[in-house]
Structure 1
Amino acid sequence: MKSKTVIKNTKAIVFLLFLLISQKDIQAQSGEFKTYSKFDFVSGEKVVAFENFDQDQIGDFPAKWNTNGSGEIVLIEGTPGRWLKINSNTTAFPTFVNNLPENFTLEFMIAANPELNYAARFIAIIFTPNTEQKKLFTANFPSRVRASFTPLKGGRGKTSVDMYGADSKAIAHNEITTDKFCLPQKSTVKVSVWRQKTRLRIYLDEEKVWDLPTAFDASVGYKKVVFGTSNLTSNMAFYISDVRLAVGAPDTRSKLITDGKFTTTGILFDSNSDKIKPESYGILKQISQVLQENPTLKVRIIGHTDSDGEDTNNLDLSKRRAASVKANLSREFSIESSRLQTDGQGETQPIAPNTTPEGKANNRRVEFIKL
């Protein structure tokens, strides 16, 4: 009798510990979302380029990129995924990006060695109409827009945006300080770029650092995305990862109310997890606003995955991710859970081939179906 009582008490303790851990996880995620409460960035509707370097070997330069310098795929201790290490005075660009429409979003991670002094050393991203390889390898090409990021020591870094005319002469220079990319405290940062015709917005993690209404020239057709580094010492390097280019502004309200279906690739999760990344806040807020403005509207949330991994695991993951979206809308935006149903289809309903990184990125999606 005593042993049965001990077993029951042990099970009760384990269950309470599970609840406590779960509650802490929920509180932690809720805290992350509160940090992003002013984050209004929303990823483009369709992913047209995606690069996480999974198809390349460690130590190699990525096969679908070109460069005039040196670089290699590496792992960074304590951070997930693979990174492209870019060395001194190096230009590198994805060869598969050849057109930048009037409206696009570009997201990527950048990192620097936190132990080094990067004073006056920077990594830049450049948008240019040039497609000729030789010109792309020079810093002095016309009609470009350049955003630079310098991780200074002492708790403050800086970022700048420069615009150049058709004669390659500088039109404008803008510069501010930021604590989002600085050493040694913050050596890794998520960069989100949003172009809407001539307007340029740039976010570092949850903070909007740039909102320039006339950064892009409306008469210029921008084609290429180029990454470049300044002069670095031999032990310095910058790193980039998870490059994601998407096009089209999602029209959440029209598609959900009129068409009865809204699909997004902008709700992001940790790898093989149902934990929603906080940078998904913008699109979740848009969805919640549609639900708040239409109090009788009910939806079914359906999760989808790519084909990596086992079928049964993907089905379970898709269901858990849909449930996580429901919980988030209820917890963070006060949407009644009774208005939200969930389901998951795993990898069974692809909308693109699972043979390319872009196809996989588009298949990792969440659908909202009007009931």
Structure 2
Amino acid sequence: MESKYKILLLITLILGGWGHGEAQILKKLKKRAAEAAEETILRKVEEKTAEETEKTMDTILEAPGKKIRKKKGKNGNDDPYGEGDGEYEDEEGFEEESDLASLEIYSKFDFVPGDQPLFFDDFESDYIGDFPSKWNTNGGGEVVSTAEGSEKWYEMKSGYTIYHIPDVPQLPEEYTIEFDLLAIGIDQQTASTTVMKVILSDDPGFQLGNYAYAQMSFCQYAAVGLWVRNSTKDINNEVSADIREAVLNQPHISIAVNKQRFRMWVDEMKVVDIPRLVPAANRPDRLKFELINFKDGKERLFIRNLKVAEGGQDLRRQLIEQGSVSTNGILFDSGSANLQPQSLGIIRQISQVLQQDISLNLLIVGHTDADGDEAANKDLSLRRAQAVKGALVSVYGIDPGRLEAEGKGESEPVAENSTSDGKAKNRRVQFVKL
């Protein structure tokens, strides 16, 4: 195609001095040259997209109990909430276990998750092929697993389908929402109307009622951005953002609601920040999802690790005033001390306290749930505390002499270890003034 373009361009130059009749031929040749160049670009894009889609589709099995093979995230993520064995000696090995480059990308990430868990679902208690027990829908969907069976995802179905989470209590004024997405079959033919809505609603069923929502498009041929709208109709607008690459790479979605303010991040990028999106009157206090226009059998969307927590407040003030702060918003890869980069919103706030008060020293304490061996959990909790120390030192420049790390393992639970909600509460990191 490239040689064809050069030949057409050469003919164009040779015919440059022709008259009116010949000028028409010249115009057609120029047009064809431009079309040839455009075809080359489109072909390259489509080949690359097809290649990536084929790789992902190869991970889906056609058997009735279909599974998804484990897809690593940007820094090798498996299960961000799991426990297990790992290899980590001390904070000197921080860069070997944590992906420092990924962490530095997130170094200005300012999302802080709530500190009082309200709901968590990793589909641990659900059977493959079933609809998840904590959800409700007017459509369909099923739980699927990785090829290794260690990871479960919920496949959401399209067709203007509403997904309601009745087990999420009425949401408070200040809370956060987090989840992971996996999109398969997305390519240059994916329509701009192929979207997922995250909806806040006051209706307990499948209607919108009084609402506010943010709508993500999975379109690849243009940067469609996100659409935000509320039921009062004073906000109904497209917010510019290019999330095309992010939606192809298993993005982590973070949302913070502070009364009327609505903020949303796709990975480390803040894509929505609307001061008064959530209606004040008849405040929406239910969480719903809606899928629209995903092509059946081709474009598929999966969700996992849905976490809702009250709070999301500034942890800096609490640490300064109370002398300690505990959070379960610092996440690690399964069975390791590898920090997930979306945890840096919290670590960044802690670093700011240390930078403000140079006389302050901190003890960092890691805690796990009760899954696995007790001794292994204590070792894991220590390594995770050391990883947080390593991030404060390597990413934010804090003097390591001002920080100590300790691991408590499963010895100090704050909730029952018999449920996924309780386990999520027990996996936490504390910061204590020395």
Task: Tell me the distance in 2 between the aligned counterparts of 1:259 and 1:23.
Answer: 29
Question: Which stretch has the larger CA shift, 57-66 or 67-76?
Answer: 67-76
SS at match of 1:351: coil
SS at match of 1:210: strand
SS at match of 1:327: helix
Q: TM-score, normalised by structure 2?
A: 0.73
- For residues 79-124 of structure 1, give each alpha carbon's deviation from its aligned partner in whole angstroms, at most 9, with x where no partner exists: 9832111112221122211311111110111222145543121111
* C-alpha deviation, 1:204, in angstroms: 0.6
Partner of 1:209: 271
* C-alpha deviation, 1:320, in angstroms: 0.4
Partner of 2:227: 160
* C-alpha deviation, 1:339, in angstroms: 1.1
SS at match of 1:146: strand
- For residues 15-66 of structure 1, give each alpha carbon's deviation from its aligned partner in whole angstroms, at most 9, with x where no partner exists: xxx9xxx68736x722112211331111111111111111111111111111
Task: Tell me the distance in 2 between the aligned counterparts of 1:310 and 1:163.
Answer: 49
Alignment of 1:121-140 (within 5 A): 121-131=194-204, 133=205, 136=206, 138=207
- For residues 218-248 of structure 1, give each alpha carbon's deviation from its aligned partner in whole angstroms, at most 9, with x where no partner exists: 2223221111111333213321111111112
Matched, 1:304 2:367: yes
Is the alpha carbon distance of 1:198 and 1:76 closer, same or farther for their aligned partners in structure 2, counting shifts above 3 Å? same
Partner of 2:345: 282
For the 8 Å contact 2:186–2:218, the answer to whether it is kept is no
Is the alpha carbon distance of 1:337 and 1:24 closer, same or farther for their aligned partners in structure 2, counting shifts above 3 Å? closer
Is the alpha carbon distance of 1:162 and 1:78 closer, same or farther for their aligned partners in structure 2, counting shifts above 3 Å? farther
Is the alpha carbon distance of 1:177 and 1:293 closer, same or farther for their aligned partners in structure 2, counting shifts above 3 Å? closer
Partner of 1:231: 293
Structure with higher Rg: it is 2
CA RMSD for the aligned pairs?
2.3
Matched, 1:45 2:124: no
For the 8 Å contact 1:50–1:245, the answer to whether it is kept is yes
Q: 1:174 aligns with which of 226, 237, 250?
A: 237
Amino acid at match of 2:163: A
* C-alpha deviation, 1:72, in angstroms: 0.3
SS at match of 1:258: helix
Amino acid at match of 1:49: F
For the 8 Å contact 1:151–1:182, the answer to whether it is kept is no
Partner of 2:154: 84
SS at match of 2:235: strand
Aligned length: 339
Task: Tell me the distance in 1 between the aligned counterparts of 2:249 and 2:348.
Answer: 29
SS at match of 1:253: helix
* C-alpha deviation, 1:256, in angstroms: 2.5
* C-alpha deviation, 1:261, in angstroms: 1.5
SS at match of 2:281: coil
Matched, 1:196 2:258: yes
- For residues 140-198 of structure 1, give each alpha carbon's deviation from its aligned partner in whole angstroms, at most 9, with x where no partner exists: x3321121111112374532111113xxxx44222145443459x82521111111111
SS at match of 1:317: helix
Greater fraction strand? 1
Alignment of 1:1-371 (within 5 A): 25=96, 29-75=99-145, 81-89=151-159, 90-116=161-187, 117-119=189-191, 120-131=193-204, 133=205, 136=206, 138=207, 141-154=208-221, 156-165=223-232, 170-182=233-245, 186-235=248-297, 236-371=299-434
Amino acid at match of 1:68: N
- For residues 243-273 of structure 1, give each alpha carbon's deviation from its aligned partner in whole angstroms, at most 9, with x where no partner exists: 1111123443343333221111121111111
Task: Tell me the distance in 2 between the aligned counterparts of 1:72 and 1:94.
Answer: 15
SS at match of 2:96: helix
Is the alpha carbon distance of 1:214 and 1:244 closer, same or farther for their aligned partners in structure 2, counting shifts above 3 Å? same
Identity %: 36
For the 8 Å contact 1:155–1:182, the answer to whether it is kept is no
Q: TM-score, normalised by structure 1?
A: 0.85
Task: Tell me the distance in 1 between the aligned counterparts of 2:150 and 2:274.
Answer: 32
Unaligned runs of 5+ in 1: 1-17
SS at match of 2:432: strand
Task: Tell me the distance in 2 between the aligned counterparts of 1:157 and 1:347.
Answer: 46
Unaligned runs of 5+ in 2: 1-88
Task: Tell me the distance in 1 between the aligned counterparts of 2:349 and 2:149.
Answer: 30
For the 8 Å contact 1:151–1:187, the answer to whether it is kept is no
Amino acid at match of 1:301: I
SS at match of 1:234: coil
